[in-house]
Amino acid sequence: MDYTPQPSGVSGAGLRPPRLLEQVRGRIRLRHYSIRTEQAYVGWIRRFILANGRRHPKELGGREVEIFLTRLATVGNVSAATQNQALSALLFLYREVLEIELPWMEEVVRAKRPRRLPVVLAQEEVARLLSVMPEGLPELMARLLYGTGMRLMECLRLRIKDVDFARREICVRSGKGDKDRRVPLPESLHGRLLRQRERALLLHHRDLARGFGRVHLPHALSRKYPDADGEPAWQYLFPSSRISTDPRSGRSGRHHAGEETLQRAIKAARARAGITKPATCHSLRHSFATHLLEAGHDIRTVQELLGHKDVATTQIYTHVLGRGAGGLLSPLDRLPGVVPGPA
């Protein structure tokens, strides 16, 4: 069983010293990192050890790290983001777990992430995409993504208490950067979200009768409020259709719906709607921001709704506002005798 490693030289009676990957998991949980970060970091550290003949990282140095990261790019052909994630995992290993400050780790150059323009759907394309989705939970979540600008996991992790029907707003908890923010609750979804809340509460009531009904709580809230995980307010608004086992606590309960369901539904709807753009769930967030700016809303307001730390991140959406390539009149169209327009 995983447990947080004790200080060096101290061990509990009958407990073997924690193995390296158990120490990594313990330190990650101590810092309240997400389960996804834990899985990614442990995976990269394991790959790094295996790539170096199972030698302990204390025996390795900057050369081995550089070779490992270089091979990821040249042989594995991974993206810059993936390569940087591997570097972050190794930095965490040496600094936080092994508590070794090595100067060469500061000199390892992070891969430069290419700047890509977001995939944005026109309003007509969004309407077409949503119209071909069968009415149900995926379609409701897709409308919510476009109507609020939430990220996919932010939507899936909504708790019942996060939707304020009286104030017509939704509180997004622990978004990117572990920040909270508020977004508007679309009027057109008010009734459907109320009905979804009732379905979630009914499912929770049935789970309690079966001996389940307890949900994962963030950080140390389960210790501070021992009974909160069984309260209706903390249940997921979009619960999973099945009971599962928490990989950390080992307790059975009902988690939120999986992201694959919505991702597959968006992909299928895109094909049925005849949309050739490589639109994904995240494209609905991009479209939300772009359409707000097109409607004349202030960029600072859009920045707050999206949860961007820097307004420069939000400015990428201004490429459709008449200040980018789509807003220029080509010199060809200015030539005498040339009539711009469809053939």
pLDDT digits (tens, 9 = 90+) for 162-220: 999 999 999 999 888 778 999 999 999 999 999 999 999 999 999 999 988 888 887 66
Catalytic residue among 317, 319, 323, 334: 317
Residue with tokens 């909160």: 228
pLDDT score at 109 = 60
**Which residues lie across from 184 on neighbouring strands?**
169
Catalytic residue among 27, 159, 214, 285: 285
Whole-angstrom distance, CA of residue 97 vs CA of residue 23: 7
Backbone φ and ψ of 332, nearest 5°: -60, -40
Tens of each residue's pLDDT in the chain, 343 residues? 333 334 434 444 455 567 899 999 999 988 878 888 999 999 999 999 999 999 999 888 778 888 898 888 788 878 888 888 998 999 899 989 988 876 666 556 666 666 778 899 999 999 999 999 999 999 999 999 999 999 999 999 999 999 999 999 999 998 887 789 999 999 999 999 999 999 999 999 999 999 888 888 876 676 777 778 889 999 999 999 888 887 777 778 888 999 999 999 999 999 999 999 999 999 999 999 999 998 889 999 999 999 998 898 888 887 655 555 555 566 777 777 766 665 5
Count Cβ neighbours within 10 Å for each residue of 167-199 and write b for 16 or more, e otherwise. eeebebbebeeeeebebebbeebeeebeebbee
Based on the residue annotation, tell me whether 282 is a catalytic residue of this protein: yes
Closest CA to 324 of 274, 285, 290: 290
Based on the residue annotation, tell me whether 112 is a catalytic residue of this protein: no
Based on the residue annotation, tell me whether 286 is a catalytic residue of this protein: no
Catalytic residue among 25, 143, 151, 254: 151
Residue with tokens 């939300």: 288
pLDDT score at 241 = 87
Strands 163-164 and 169-172 turn out to be antiparallel
CB distance 281 to 126 below 8 Å: no
Residue 338 CB neighbour total at 10 angstroms: 11
Catalytic residue among 46, 47, 128, 176: 176
Catalytic residue among 173, 255, 282, 319: 282
Based on the residue annotation, tell me whether 317 is a catalytic residue of this protein: yes
Residue with tokens 């204390």: 58
Whole-angstrom distance, CA of residue 62 vs CA of residue 340: 59
